[in-house]
Amino acid sequence: RLYGGIGVPYGTSDVLPYVKQFTAGGPNSLRAWRLRALCPGSYYNPDVNNPDVFPDQTGDMKLEGNLEYRFDIFKLFGGFLNVKGATFMDAGNIWDLKSNPYKPGSEFRPARFYQDIAVGGGFGIRLDFSYAVLRFDFATPFKVPYIADNYGWIFQTLRPLDPSWRRNNIVFNFAVGYPF
C-alpha cells in the first residue's frame, strides 16, 4: 500500500483544522510506533515515550508505504477459525508545511525528506473468524528519524533476546480487521 496526502489551509486560516491533520503510528499506520506517536519530520518530543502521556503528534503532510506478507498457519473447528500470520515493513512520516519554532525539524524539506523517513517492521497473528479478523501485531523501529547517528538506522542496537530491550522497543498493536 502506498499512501500520500497533503492539507493546505485556505482563507484566513494559518493551520489545518485538527480533524484534517495527518498522524502516524498505531495499528493501521507505522506499527512500530504507538498511535499518533511519530513526530513530524525529525522533531523529537520526549513525552512520546512516556507511557502516562497520550501522544498526539500531527502534521500537514503524510507519505507512507506498507508491505505485508500474509500466510495461513492452521485452521480450527472445521474452518470456523483460520489462524494466519503476517510479516510486514512500514515506512513513512508526517511533516508540517511551515516551520514551527516549537517543533524544530518538523518542516518538510525536499532536500532531506528521505532522512526523515521512519522504518519499522515486525510480525503478527490474525484470528480470522470469516466475519471478523482479530489482529495482533508486534513491531520494532529500524530507522528512527530523530536519531542523527547512522542516519537513524538502529540495527546495531537490536537485542531481541534481551527482555529489557523487548519491553522498551517492541510495540504491540491490537486491531479488528486488516490494516489495508
- Please report which confidence band the pLDDT of residue 179 belongs to, taking 50, 70 and 90 as the band edges: confident
* Average pLDDT of span 132-146: 96
Residue matched to cell numbers 500520500? 4
pLDDT digits (tens, 9 = 90+) for 48-89: 777 788 888 999 999 999 999 999 999 998 888 999 999 999
Q: Give the highest mean pLDDT range of 15-24, 30-39, 63-72, 149-158.
A: 63-72
User: Which pLDDT score is estimated for 41?
Assistant: 93
User: Which pLDDT score is estimated for 15?
Assistant: 85
Residue 25 in this model has a pLDDT that exceeds 90:
yes
Report the percent of the chain where pLDDT is more than 90: 70
Of the chain, the end-to-end C-alpha distance in Å amounts to 7
CA–CA separation, 37 and 30 (whole Å): 10
Residue 138 in this model has a pLDDT that exceeds 90:
yes
* Average pLDDT of span 116-128: 96
* Average pLDDT of span 14-37: 92
CA–CA separation, 54 and 23 (whole Å): 13
Counted residue by residue, the chain has a size of: 180
Mean pLDDT, rounded, of the chain: 92
pTM (2 decimals)? 0.90
